[in-house]
Structure 1
Amino acid sequence: MAFSKMDIPHRAQHFLECGIEECERNCEFYCNSCHQRLCKQCRDEHLKSPENKNHEVVLYQQRKRQLPVEKCKIHPNKDVEMLCEECQVPVCSKCVTQKEHRGHIFTDLETIYAEKYADFQEDIAKIQDYFLPTSQDLQKEIKKDSSEIKHIMDNIRTSMKTEGESLKSLVDTVISENMKQLDQIEHSLLEDLNTQDKTMDNYITYLNNLVKELHRCLSSTETQKLMSEKKPKIRSIPETSKPVKPEFTAGQYSKSDVTKLLGKIQVPNTKAEKREIRPIESVYNTAMKPTHKQMKENRKKSDKKQTMSLSGSVTKVRECYVPGVDRVFHVSLDQSDRLWISDRLGNLVQTDLQGNVIQKIKTSDGHGYHTVTQDRGLIFTDYDKNVINRITQDNKITEFIKTGNWTPYSIHSSHINGELLVGMMFRVTRYNKTGKELQNIQRDNKGQRLYSTLPHYITENINGDICTSDYDKRAVVVVNKSGQHRFSYKGQESMFRPYGICTDVLGHILVCDLISNTVHLLDQDGQFLSLLLTPKQGVYSPCSVCVDDENNLYVGQYNTNTLTVYKYLQ
């Protein structure tokens, strides 16, 4: 069973079957008139039919969304098909004949519906590419902070308990020492008092014995003997001393003293710092919403694009000899009649389409190292000094961006929003128009490096994909505008060596293969479509490609300073 693209998430790579019954080939085209999916063969058959000759058949990616069937409220038997631009109401074919709409301008409602559908799809992409991931990152940060707070609080609790235990240990030590000192004092005082007690005990015994002796003398019957008895001298009372009683002085402390000893908890008196929300420009290229008038003008401009498709053959239009360079390593479109061309020796020249040199400057050697900005200024890298220079329209060269320790190899100015994409060793960096770094792309969702040391050429597709030609990795590496890896194209042979790369108005990716002397054509999902140019068309060692506003393909080659122009779209 085949599914439509709207049934599948916008990041998915998928294959659609042709909608013609019994045809199982892959769908490549879409008929906006009858809303039918078509393969290339069925498209050709479809347009051969006389009743289908005016049908609008486009690439599937440029299809219009089918308008849901809705009945007119005034004419219930009619379907609404148009929008009255003055009244801004949907109307049916019968309504347009009514006098209230007389002279008004009507727009195909299906076109408006397709624009609205694309607008809502863009919002979905913004939500999925920026708002959801950014919010989820902030939520992760909040949860990380919560875990960190719990960890900090546990550490503080442990520190407080440690301080308390330490103080308690000191208190026990001091009390123990005081008790020991008190015991010693008590022992000394009691020992002294015990000695005094024994002294007094001996003295009292002496007195009692003396009294007995005196009584014995008094009891004698012989007067002469009593008279002759010598009276004993009473020994004086021994001296004793009162003990010096110890005193206890209570400690002088307060709660604040204990707080000083144990420490206290403090919350810094600073305002909470707001979490940084990365700008939407770092992952999603936003542009000003067009007005309704601009939308109508854009529709007119896109009419030609919608009816364009790959031609059955490639036609050589002209050749342009470029003096001042030895080989055409890289081409940047300036104005409709001017080009910037560089070689491997650092010669960078501006020429017209006839090959007449307008100006020439000397730079460091490079590959895809220059690009023209939206305001027609030229920007080029200097990998010797790790800087990006800018040449203004008055031909002044100024240093624009310093890339620090990162060597810039390739550069591209976005035609969508004017931002700069710079290919460096192991990374791609995005800068805004003022030179502020917005985004760094280095690894895929598995943590693997996306780029090698030599991302020689870089460009941007119509859907915002960043396409890098990585010579050392032997691959075209494509990520979406938020930096997520979409696919890597590694050629049709093992010796694939990609060089110059560009995209066209239909989202095709064109890349040079220096080894096989070919230019490969891919769709914007990385599916190989064809070898657009081969040695049969006189191409040898192609190393640079670009497509101008008229859909002419410019090809520069390694072995000549002649630029060849081809037609491949019809």
Structure 2
Amino acid sequence: MNPPYAAQDAARCQICETAVVHMHCHSCEVNLCMACIGNHVTLNPRTEHQVLGLDLHKSSLTFTKCCTHPNQCCQFYCKECDIPVCSKCISSEKHSRHLFLQMCQVFESRKSTIEKDTKALEDVVCPKYENIAQDIENELKNLESEFKRITTMVFEHGKEWHRRIDLLVSRLKTEINAIRENQIYALRKQLSHVKNKIIAINDAIDENNGALSSKEVIRTLDCKIKFTNFNQLPPALYIQSPIFSTRSITDEEVSQLFGSLKTLPITVQKESETLNDPTKLSPTQFLEEPELVSSFYTSFQKLCNVEYKNAENIWTSGKDGTIKKFNLQGSCLKTIITSCGTWPADIAWNHTGELLYSDSVARSLKIVKRGPVKNWIKFKFWKPGNICVCFSGDLLVTLCNDEETQVKVVRYSGPTEKQTIQFDEEGKPLYSGNSKIKYISENRNLDVCVADSHAGVIVVVNQAGRFRFRYTGHPNSSKAKPFKPYGITTDSWSQILTSDSDNHCIHILDQTGQFLHYIKNCHLQNPHGLCVDDRFNLIVAEYYSGMIKIIKYIHK
């Protein structure tokens, strides 16, 4: 046998090391030629040899050696002891009355389990992780773009400050020069007047000296006394240079005036998605019967939206074109007249404490500050619908075209467009046309959740805009009417709550889209807008009744 070509040579007998292998001792795991079979068996008489043809061996199972009986193979499995055993172990006292399985059956069962596990890894787990990796890569790209945008904003803001300071310094220099010229002119005028007086005084002195030195009587008699002409001294000018007042300002005050960075911590979800076993709240954590904490009447004929800020700031809007502020006792504290004509499409509070509302008729988002309502974002070819302020401070807006055949979600950072969400990975629309009403909310895991009432579906995408899941109602529901979600909100457990208006109930989903629970009873009638207060209660706006209901639905 030529060693360089050994890998290409036929397998050789492990006894004589020359003849080609034809058989295999399954008990001893030894390759044999025909001539060496007898010698092999004779040399190991205590072993029950299982000599098989080579082809048959390759298709047969290899059993492990028994720890108690080394010459035996474990062809059985003790179910009580959960270990492989041989035929001698079965008859031993140690395994008396135990249940035994054929090892080949256990092998096939385990093999089937491994095949299922492999398929799950290939079909479910690996694609999920690949999607997560793709999301992270997209987030890295977005992060680079966002930091570049923020750096540009700071630089441009600094240039604007320099420009304004340069203008201010130039104006002050002009004012200083004008004051200087006025004061110099006044002093020079005074100096000229005094010098003219000095000339006149010297002339008077010369005239008096001439009269004194003259022998002419008439000249002395005609010389008049001049002291009274000069005894009134000119008024003194009190000139002061302007005072430039400066105010000592600290670096912190400069930062507050100029603008500062708000660094948001990198957070890790407390509850992440578990494949094939979605993380759910235990049913015992939901109240078996939801509790109506309080309710009050808003006087809206059709109440659409509710937004909670604190116990004294519950804002509502409806059909009569106004926005009203209530406290928990139901007292109306303020009414804002909008420019919408009929009703604002939606309301929301931004992170700087200002109220926003969308005006579809005027194609704009309005901002309510002290004084008159002002336009904040103006749209040319799209009409704004529902809005949501994100945890990052960004604003999510649903927009539809004039024909109401296309709907998209746009993310804004301030008035700057940052992201558009409209199509899935196959280029198909995520949201139906024919209706601009698409309530929107952001979940704690930063998913964007949209209630598409026209299509009867909740559509959820991740932060990067990649499709995650759709929810079309509970499959085992016995509700009389089709699922039509309107209001949508999320709570501290990343649960999605949506109002099923026609069926007078609220659906609760987990962050993977699995149905968890209904909120019904509490005499709910056509629930519409939703939000959650700081006590983990759900606030519901009833469309036709104009009632606000505050409902406790979960154990704290």
Taking structure 2 as the reference length, the TM-score comes to: 0.49
Taking structure 1 as the reference length, the TM-score comes to: 0.48
> Which has the greater radius of gyration?
1
